[in-house]
């Protein structure tokens, strides 16, 4: 192997290029991941065209093309179509070999309906019958759009008549329709409006069809509420523990062992914390609370089952070492001259801690909280044991006293992502929602982190200005 020419590749330059290459590779992988999530997640809400196929056998098919895949042994390719009409065809999806297609067109009257029973349906719009009036074509589509903007209880009685690909009529009551699309009749600007409505519905509605349809608003709310409760719990305990270890406790062998133990706790698998939370918080403390205060409700547990409080406490315990380590490192960076100067001016030890040391260590505390929030928002394993639910019928926060119900189960984006990906009956329908939910979870963690980072930067600027003026 040829030896490196040190005159051309000095040691410092070689390591500089190596580090720069690693950073560039990391950024490339991050951008690739985000691009995949954006393309597959947000692209799901763009209204794709509906194709009317005529096969060589004479069969007619109406569906939305999804993807293509090669046939085995080099026999060509096949295309997956979403056809809907589960009650008629027995399935929502169909693979069609490209060699079997005789003709393809995109009729303007082809529509896709979202309905509450039997899933979605595709076909040609024949007529809209409402209040004794029968509409067809573009007027029927416009009237249907205006009617679906009303709540289900305020809609007039009426029916939508479709013609399936086989030519048979299919009647749908307006009360069962939640949304519809006529993508072949839309301009690019109108498709952008439909895309925005789809994204908003995903963010503002609850899940349906076993989490393979609808939105994720309960999961967003549950994730944010759990993170807030967890942060309120972990921050004071982590800060006080760090203050004791760095400012009050004698620096001896016991203190060093405690620090080693705290750092080792940060590497314990999260499922272990979940088992601890289930045994101590749920069955131990929660079961005792039920025995003391909710005896009349037994054997149905009130606090002796998973809920928001126990999930927040478990994740607070999980992220406590992170807050302690970050805060203690911030305290250690404060020069001893600041402490000695405050004491020399007559301040007590408590005043020195609260008015000099803690304000200067606030950015480090926020760093610990940022890391804690980032880890807690993405954890799933411990939550499966201490409170998360596939579908929570009641929100933990509502208008009923005491307003914040810590004993209730809640939905979480991470668990919703896991459940949608692996526990759904319709895998093909779940795939785009998995990408969209993953993108949303990444964005929520990013927003929470950026908020704390901007707050930390603001505090640093304020402290820098005050110390420079003094």
Concatenate the DSSP letters of all residues of 196-265 into one string: HHHHHHHHHS-EETTTTEE--HHHHHHHHHHHHHHHHHHHHHHHHHHHIIIIIS--SHHHHHHHHHHHHH
469 pLDDT higher than 60:
no
pLDDT at 279: 93
pLDDT at 8: 54
Return residue ranges of the chain for CATH 1.10.3720.10.
217-469
Query: How would residue 371 be classed by pLDDT, with cut points 50, 70 and 90?
Result: confident
Task: Please tell me the distance from the alpha carbon of residue 399 to that of residue 411, in angstroms, as a whole number.
Answer: 19
Count CB atoms within 10 A of the CB of residue 208. Answer: 14
Handedness of CA 103, 104, 108, 112 (dihedral sign): positive
Which tokens sit at 366? 């926020």
Task: Please tell me the distance from the alpha carbon of residue 221 to that of residue 224, in angstroms, as a whole number.
Answer: 5
pLDDT at 313: 95
Handedness of CA 362, 365, 369, 374 (dihedral sign): positive
Element (H, E) at 113: strand 110-115
Q: What is the pLDDT of residues 198-231, one digit of tens each?
A: 999 999 988 877 777 788 999 999 999 999 999 9
Residues 6+ apart with CB under 8 A from 187: none
pLDDT at 7: 53
pLDDT at 78: 93
300 pLDDT higher than 90:
no
pLDDT at 1: 45
465 pLDDT higher than 70:
no
Handedness of CA 105, 109, 115, 121 (dihedral sign): negative
470 pLDDT higher than 70:
no
pLDDT at 32: 94
Specify the 3-state DSSP secondary structure of 305. coil
pLDDT at 467: 44
More confident site: 452 or 237: 237
pLDDT at 466: 45
Query: How would residue 464 be classed by pLDDT, with cut points 50, 70 and 90?
Result: low
pLDDT at 309: 93
Handedness of CA 196, 428, 206, 369 (dihedral sign): negative
Q: What is the mean pLDDT of the chain?
A: 87
Q: What's the CATH class of domain 217-469?
A: mainly alpha
What value does the mean pLDDT take over residues 87-108? 89
Task: Please tell me the distance from the alpha carbon of residue 420 to that of residue 210, in angstroms, as a whole number.
Answer: 8
């Amino acid at each position: 192997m040829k030896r490196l020419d040190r005159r051309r590749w000095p040691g410092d330059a070689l390591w500089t290029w190596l580090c720069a290459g690693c950073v560039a590779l990391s950024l490339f992988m991050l951008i690739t991941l985000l691009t995949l999530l954006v393309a597959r997640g947000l692209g799901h809400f763009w209204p794709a065209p509906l194709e009317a196929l005529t096969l060589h056998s004479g069969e007619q098919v109406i569906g939305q093309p999804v993807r293509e895949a090669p046939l085995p042994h080099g026999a060509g390719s096949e295309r997956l179509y979403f056809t809907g009409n589960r009650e008629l065809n027995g399935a929502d999806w169909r693979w069609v070999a490209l060699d079997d297609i005789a003709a393809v067109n995109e009729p303007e009257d082809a529509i896709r309906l979202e309905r509450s029973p039997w899933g979605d349906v595709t076909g040609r719009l024949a007529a809209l019958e409402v209040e004794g009036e029968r509409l067809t074509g573009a007027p029927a589509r416009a009237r249907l759009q205006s009617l679906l903007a009303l709540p289900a209880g305020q809609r007039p009685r009426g029916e939508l008549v479709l013609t399936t690909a086989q030519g048979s009529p299919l009647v749908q009551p307006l009360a069962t329709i939640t949304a519809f699309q006529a993508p072949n009749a839309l301009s690019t600007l109108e498709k952008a409006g439909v895309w925005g409505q789809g994204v908003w519905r995903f963010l503002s509605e609850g899940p349906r069809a076993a989490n393979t349809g609808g939105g994720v608003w309960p999961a967003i709310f549950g994730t944010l509420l759990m993170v807030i409760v967890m942060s309120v719990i972990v921050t004071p305990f982590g800060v006080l523990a760090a203050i004791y270890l760095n400012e009050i406790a004698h620096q001896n062998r016991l203190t060093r062992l405690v620090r080693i133990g705290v750092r080792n706790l940060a590497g314990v698998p999260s499922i272990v914390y979940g088992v601890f939370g289930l045994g101590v918080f749920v069955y131990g403390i929660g079961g005792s609370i039920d025995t003391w205060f909710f005896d009349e409700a037994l054997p149905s547990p009130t606090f002796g089952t998973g809920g928001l409080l126990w999930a927040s406490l478990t994740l607070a315990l999980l992220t406590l070492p992170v807050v302690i380590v970050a805060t203690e490192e911030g305290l250690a960076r404060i020069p001893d001259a600041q402490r000695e100067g405050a004491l020399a001016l007559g301040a007590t030890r408590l005043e020195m801690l609260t008015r000099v040391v803690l304000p200067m260590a606030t950015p480090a505390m926020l760093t610990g909280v940022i890391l804690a929030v980032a880890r807690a928002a993405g954890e799933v394993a411990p939550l499966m044991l201490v409170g998360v639910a596939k579908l929570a019928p009641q929100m933990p926060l509502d208008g009923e006293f005491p307003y914040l119900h810590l004993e209730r189960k809640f939905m979480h984006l991470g668990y919703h992502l896991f459940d949608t990906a692996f526990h759904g009956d319709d895998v093909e329908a779940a795939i785009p929602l998995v990408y969209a939910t993953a993108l949303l979870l990444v964005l929520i963690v990013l927003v929470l982190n950026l908020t704390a980072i901007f707050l930390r930067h603001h505090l640093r600027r304020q402290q820098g200005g005050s110390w420079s003026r003094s």
